[in-house]
Amino acid sequence: SQSYAAAGTGGTLATSSGAAWTRHTSGLGPELYDMSMATATHGWAIGRRSVVLRTTDGRTWTRQDAGTTAPFL
């Protein structure tokens, strides 16, 4: 079972299998605030300036339309 976290500037994402954390950079956005994974491969992350990122393989992230320019937080 994997755990996930989202934090940092430049769209930094981290994954863990329980033993150690591995850092990934989405390359698609600013600071990320939160992340939710429906499965080990499908999930979303939200960030500054209404950024929404989506993955369907757990590694590659694409920007999604948030439908708003208002801040999430």
Instruction: Please determine, for residue 8, whether its predicted confidence score (pLDDT) is greater than 70.
Output: no
Instruction: Please determine, for residue 66, whether its predicted confidence score (pLDDT) is greater than 80.
Output: yes
Cβ pair 21, 69 in contact under 8 A: no
In the chain, the amino acid numbered 11 is G
Q: Which residue has the tokens 């600071």?
A: 31
Q: Is the dihedral of CA 9, 12, 16, 19 positive or negative?
A: negative
pLDDT digits (tens, 9 = 90+) for 34-60: 888 888 788 888 888 888 888 888 778
pLDDT digits (tens, 9 = 90+) for 17-27: 667 777 777 77
Choice between 11 and 66, residue whose per-residue pLDDT is larger: 66
Q: What's the predicted TM-score (pTM) here?
A: 0.71
